[in-house]
């Protein structure tokens, strides 16, 4: 579909609270009394001190006429001064207190005002240990010439580099002025200019209202290549050409998603490929996805991650969960839309194989989870939302939507989903909001197809309901036969018909290995197919977990190289967890981690520390 130049012409009204407001257990903020409607940042990037320093100006909407206290979220911030700005623009110092720090929530910043001021200016600087920022030395980058810094605000790390209401129930527009050393480039989740001079002085504007977890900043030696009329790839110079080639289908992905679910409302969609220490596969920062280089396999076999992050432009960024307890509204919808994009671009076979692998791995994961951890709508009070993430909001959430699709049929379900995105655009909602809309716009129009008890079982009960549609791939039948024959000794490793296998088929085969694989069989597989050292990260981490379980120690040099080079949490934590199950493995893991830890993001460090009992 030809891009429509009018898609970016939209009027926005900032959404202040969810339609059915409920307290956010991960924020001190009181948005029912007063909420942020706009943010203006002016920050200097200091690599020598590993800090951001400057000011944040907050525009405020007061909802409670009697309220005079503004409560903000912070973590390890140094507050230098706070001023209230009246309607005439005059500034006056105000008093404030910073509460003692909570291990999960950080410190509440309580600001006392004499009147309901329309704006507030906070002068501050960050700590070198800010949980939402990673400062990298030149040696940790591809060229070794310049330092690098990037943010990761989700789930509740924005408060470590900006004082604000760090809850997805509050949305605001923002502008920013960022200064840094030449010749570094600054990229933000805003209107990045691909032709900007590398002059160290950057200004940004995000006119669409976003929640705090979508604030993003990166500074480093970055080159750029345009891949379409509204797409580009930013990456370190040595990687930018390869990355642009890998992601050249991005414009096609946008067009396909628009056909399914309505216009793309964020003007541009760029991709920033970060250094390998980035803790996630991707982060759906609006206008510019932050992506791990581990998805660059050279054959586009892992671009489903880009489809996922793009899908967030409709589910998550456009329609947002009001707090982490309703994360399935973000990730379940996004994983569902991702699979529909893959189906449209690469065919039903590829999309179905993805479903089968993900369903299987979810069931394995859930077998070790507590019942409360298996709920789509969960109580996360007292739980760090970083640790609360699992396959449940992603894959069980998608499975729930596939269930609804199977009952209502795509002819009715697709228009419902598209209208849902339109109806709640630029709003933050709860599961209750979804259910009210679902009841009025799908259930009552097609009575008798889905019962209330079935909906309740999906949302509020552990496990996967018996009503779940089961995905089946004929191509996997051949993979399963090869795995069975190989494990039974009927098929030699070199005779496995895998030369034309795609990533999902290899994942299916590796997942078919027993809980305690035979080391000799893994050695034969490795010799025939060179799995140790593979450039496909999704295959690699599953293979390395299997080698640890088998006691196939010959793969340890490749394991060490893998987890020293990559900081993506999903890929490295399972390997550490498996190694930690034996004394010898744990000793090896600790030695490797000693070298790898400085290059990991704090989020990954925390997860590995826990896995190794440090």
Contact 3, 34 (CB under 8 A): no
What is the pairing mode between strands 133-136 and 95-98? unpaired
CA–CA gap between residue 409 and residue 313 (Å, rounded): 24
CA–CA gap between residue 329 and residue 125 (Å, rounded): 34
CA–CA gap between residue 318 and residue 492 (Å, rounded): 51
CA–CA gap between residue 559 and residue 574 (Å, rounded): 12
CA–CA gap between residue 51 and residue 33 (Å, rounded): 32
Dihedral sign (CA 447, 451, 456, 459) = negative
Phi, psi for 451 (deg, rounded to 5): -90, 160
Angle at which helix 410-423 crosses helix 397-408, to 10 degrees, equals: 130
Q: Which residues are catalytic?
A: 309, 394
The residues pairing with 93 across neighbouring beta strands, listed in sequence order, are 83
Rounded (10°) CA dihedral 135, 137, 141, 145: 130
Query: What are the start-end ranges of the H helices in 312-382?
Result: 328-346, 348-366
Contacts with 263 (C-beta within 8 Å, 6 or more apart), sequence order: 4, 7
Contact 274, 150 (CB under 8 A): yes
Q: Is 257 exposed, middle or buried (0-12, 13-18, 19+ CB in 10 A)?
A: buried
DSSP state of 323: S
Phi, psi for 185 (deg, rounded to 5): -105, 140
What is the pairing mode between strands 133-136 and 171-179? unpaired
CA–CA gap between residue 614 and residue 609 (Å, rounded): 5
CA–CA gap between residue 169 and residue 150 (Å, rounded): 24
């Amino acid at each position: 579909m030809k891009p429509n130049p009018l898609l970016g012409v939209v009027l926005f009204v900032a959404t202040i609270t969810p339609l059915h407001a409920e307290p956010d257990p991960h924020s001190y903020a009181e948005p029912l009394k007063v909420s942020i409607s706009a943010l203006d940042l002016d920050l200097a990037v200091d690599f020598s001190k590993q800090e951001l320093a400057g000011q944040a100006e907050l525009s405020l909407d007061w909802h409670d006429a009697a309220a005079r206290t503004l409560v903000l979220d912070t973590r390890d911030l140094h507050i230098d001064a706070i001023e209230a700005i009246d309607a005439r623009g005059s500034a006056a110092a105000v008093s404030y207190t910073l509460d003692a720090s909570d291990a999960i929530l950080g410190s509440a910043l309580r600001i006392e005002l004499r009147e309901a001021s329309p704006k507030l200016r906070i002068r501050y600087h960050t700590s070198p240990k800010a949980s939402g920022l990673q400062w990298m030395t030149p040696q940790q980058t591809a060229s070794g010439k310049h330092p690098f810094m990037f943010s990761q605000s989700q789930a509740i790390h924005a408060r470590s580099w900006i004082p604000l209401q760090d809850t997805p129930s509050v949305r605001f527009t923002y502008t920013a002025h960022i200064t840094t050393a030449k010749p570094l480039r600054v990229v933000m989740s805003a209107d990045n200019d691909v032709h900007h001079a590398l002059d160290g002085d950057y200004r940004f504007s995000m006119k669409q209202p976003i929640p705090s977890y979508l604030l993003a900043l990166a500074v480093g030696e970055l080159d750029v290549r345009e891949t379409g009329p509204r797409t580009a790839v930013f990456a370190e110079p040595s990687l930018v050409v390869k990355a642009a080639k890998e992601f050249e289908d991005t414009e096609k992905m946008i067009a396909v998603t628009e056909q399914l679910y309505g216009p793309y409302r964020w003007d541009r969609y760029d991709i920033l490929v970060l250094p390998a220490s980035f803790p996630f596969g991707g982060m759906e920062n609006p206008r510019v996805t932050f992506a791990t280089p581990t998805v660059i396999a050279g054959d586009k076999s892992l671009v489903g991650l880009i489809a996922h992050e793009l899908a967030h432009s409709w589910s998550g960024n456009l329609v947002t969960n009001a707090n982490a307890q309703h994360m399935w509204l973000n990730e379940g919808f996004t994983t569902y839309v991702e699979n529909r994009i893959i189906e449209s671009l690469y065919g039903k076979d590829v999309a179905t194989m993805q479903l089968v692998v993900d369903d299987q791995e979810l069931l394995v994961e859930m077998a070790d989870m507590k019942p409360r951890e298996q709920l789509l709508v969960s109580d996360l009070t007292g739980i760090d939302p970083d640790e609360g993430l699992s396959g449940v909001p992603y894959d069980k959430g998608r499975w729930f939507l596939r269930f609804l699709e199977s009952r209502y049929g795509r002819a009715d379900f697709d228009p419902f989903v598209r209208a849902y995105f339109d109806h709640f655009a630029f709003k933050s909602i709860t599961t209750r909001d979804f259910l009210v809309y679902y009841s009025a716009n799908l259930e009552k129009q097609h009575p008798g197809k889905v019962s209330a008890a079935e909906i309740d079982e999906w949302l509020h009960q552990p496990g996967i309901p018996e009503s779940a549609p089961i995905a089946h791939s004929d191509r996997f039948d051949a993979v399963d036969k090869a795995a069975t024959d190989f494990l039974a000794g009927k098929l030699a490793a070199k005779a496995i018909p895998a030369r034309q296998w795609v990533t999902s088929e290899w994942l299916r085969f590796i997942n078919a290995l027993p809980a305690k694989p035979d080391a000799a069989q893994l050695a034969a597989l490795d010799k025939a197919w060179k799995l140790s050292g593979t450039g496909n990260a999704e295959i690699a981490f599953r293979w390395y977990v299997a080698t640890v379980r088998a006691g196939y120690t010959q793969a340890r040099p490749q394991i060490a190289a893998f987890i020293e080079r990559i900081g993506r949490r999903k890929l490295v934590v399972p390997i550490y967890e498996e190694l930690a199950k034996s004394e010898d493995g744990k000793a090896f893991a600790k030695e490797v981690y000693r070298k790898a830890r400085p290059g990991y993001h704090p989020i990954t460090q925390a997860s590995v520390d826990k896995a190794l009992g440090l």
